[in-house]
């Protein structure tokens, strides 16, 4: 039932995006470098000069909505989920609700070197399952809602590292800021439902054991501003609150595929953000397939690319493959 024999004959992204980003994307060949070497090899003298390729900011796609953003000696992780256990999410049969939550350090450690911050966008299994392990290993501060933190605590995450947010925060760090915005999850099916909906406020719930136990717990969007110049907006799922994001004008937006049930999802988003210079697609790969192979599109990539082009023709659509890095 979980046979993997249709693995990677398709490499569909190659049909779509080979011309868009390869020139500026480079495979992060150093991914296996041990954590201890990181501080010495990441430049301590960022150059935020604003021109493409000289921002001093690197974005690496770790599959699904997992991103590593590095600049200077800082590393920010977004929804780092690398274990990618099989769920059947994108099969005709759909996700198996009783799929157990598992964490596999052998699939995480080669790619996660260290982290200062982990931004949790929402609470689902494909965003949050690996966070307790990565937080404990890196010592990173974990931003998320009260519900996210309660579920993470139930999974054993160190509560002393939580920074609980709800939207509206404007946080100052050393050389960068993080703004937090209320956002919305994508809605699917005839009744437009959020998968595994709900919140876990108040007390810590029983330990989540299956994918169905990790509920949305509200959805957040984050804008990271580096050196008071370069702005990255991160959206984890195909929906947003227009009035929350109005006026932000990020340089780069990480935008999730999907959104067919949301009125003019991409068109409104591009207009609300005043047409970012770069859009990086996210959440478009079928995560039944591994991270160390080319991404397999579940079908959302080309519609997103076309919608961005139609709504924002001057925006560059930077289509990274698994583990590729972009330096704007
Ligand atoms: Zn989700």
**pLDDT higher than threshold 90 for residue 15:** no
Does some domain include residue 321?
yes
* Percent of the chain whose pLDDT exceeds 70: 84
* 39 is a domain residue: no
Q: Of 56 and 241, which is predicted with more confidence? A: 241
> Ligand 1: distance of its center to the CA of 213 in Å?
13
42 falls within a domain: no
Mean pLDDT value across residues 36-63:
59
The residue range of the domain holding 240 is: 19-33+53-326
65 and 121 in contact (C-beta within 8 Å)?
yes
CA of 34 to the centre of ligand 1 (A): 31
- Expressed in percent and rounded to 5, the helix, strand and coil fractions of the chain are 20, 25, 55
Q: Is the dihedral of CA 312, 314, 315, 318 positive or negative?
A: positive
pLDDT score for 52: 54
What's the mean per-residue pLDDT of the chain? Answer: 87
Mean pLDDT of 25-51: 37
pLDDT interval class at 55 (50, 70, 90): confident
In the structure, ligand 1 is a single-atom ion and the residues with CB under 5 Å from it are 124
Ligand 1 mean position, distance from CA 109 (Å): 24
Ligand 1: distance of its center to the CA of 236 in Å?
8
> How far is the centre of ligand 1, averaged over its atoms, from the C-alpha of 72 (Å)?
31
Q: What is the mean pLDDT of residues 323-327?
A: 97
Q: Quote the ligand 1 centre to 195 CA distance (angstroms).
A: 7
* Confidence check: pLDDT of 282 > 50: yes
Task: Return d(Cα 306, Cα 250) in angstroms, integer.
Answer: 20
- The whole-number pLDDT of residue 53 equals 66
Distance from Cα 27 to the centre of ligand 1, integer Å: 27
CA 36 to ligand 1 center in whole angstroms: 33
pLDDT at 81: 98
CATH code of the domain covering residue 28: 3.60.15.10
Read off the pTM: 0.85
Domain count, the chain: 1
The verdict on residue 4 lying in a domain is no
Give pLDDT, residue 142: 98
Is 44 a member of any domain? no
Alpha-carbon distance of 262 to 154, in angstroms, equals 33
Tell whether the model's pLDDT for residue 49 goes beyond 80: no
Q: What average pLDDT does this structure show over 81-92?
A: 97
Distance 49 CA to ligand 1 centre (A): 35
């Amino acid at each position: 039932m979980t046979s993997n024999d249709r693995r990677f004959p398709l490499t569909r992204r190659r049909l779509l995006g080979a011309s868009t980003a390869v020139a500026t994307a480079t495979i992060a060949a150093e991914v296996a470098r041990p954590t201890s070497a990181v501080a010495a090899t990441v430049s301590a003298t960022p150059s935020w000069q604003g021109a493409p390729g000289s921002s001093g900011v690197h974005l690496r796609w770790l599959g699904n909505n997992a991103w590593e953003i590095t600049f200077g000696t800082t590393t920010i992780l977004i929804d780092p989920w690398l274990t990618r256990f099989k769920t059947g999410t994108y099969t005709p049969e759909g996700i198996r609700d009783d799929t157990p939550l598992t964490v596999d350090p052998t699939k995480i450690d080669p790619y996660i070197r260290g982290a200062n911050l982990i931004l949790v966008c929402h609470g689902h299994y494909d965003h949050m399952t690996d966070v307790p392990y990565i937080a404990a290993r890196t010592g990173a501060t974990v931003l998320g809602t009260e519900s996210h933190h309660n579920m993470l605590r139930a999974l054993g995450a160190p509560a002393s590292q939580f920074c609980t947010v709800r939207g509206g925060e404007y946080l100052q760090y050393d050389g960068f800021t993080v703004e937090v915005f209320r956002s919305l999850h994508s809605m699917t099916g005839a009744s437009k439902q959020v998968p595994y909906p709900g919140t876990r406020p108040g007390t810590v719930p029983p330990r989540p054991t299956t994918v169905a136990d990790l509920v949305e717990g509200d959805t957040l969007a984050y804008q990271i501003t580096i050196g008071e110049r370069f702005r990255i907006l991160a959206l984890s799922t195909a929906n947003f609150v227009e009035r929350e994001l109005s006026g932000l004008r990020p340089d780069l937006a990480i935008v999730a595929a999907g959104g067919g049930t949301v009125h003019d999802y991409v068109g409104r988003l591009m207009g609300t953000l005043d047409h970012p210079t770069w859009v990086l697609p996210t959440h478009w790969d079928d995560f039944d397939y591994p991270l160390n192979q080319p991404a397999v599109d579940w079908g959302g990539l080309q519609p997103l690319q076309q919608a961005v082009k139609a709504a924002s023709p001057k925006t560059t659509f930077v289509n990274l493959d698994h583990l590729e890095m972009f330096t704007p």
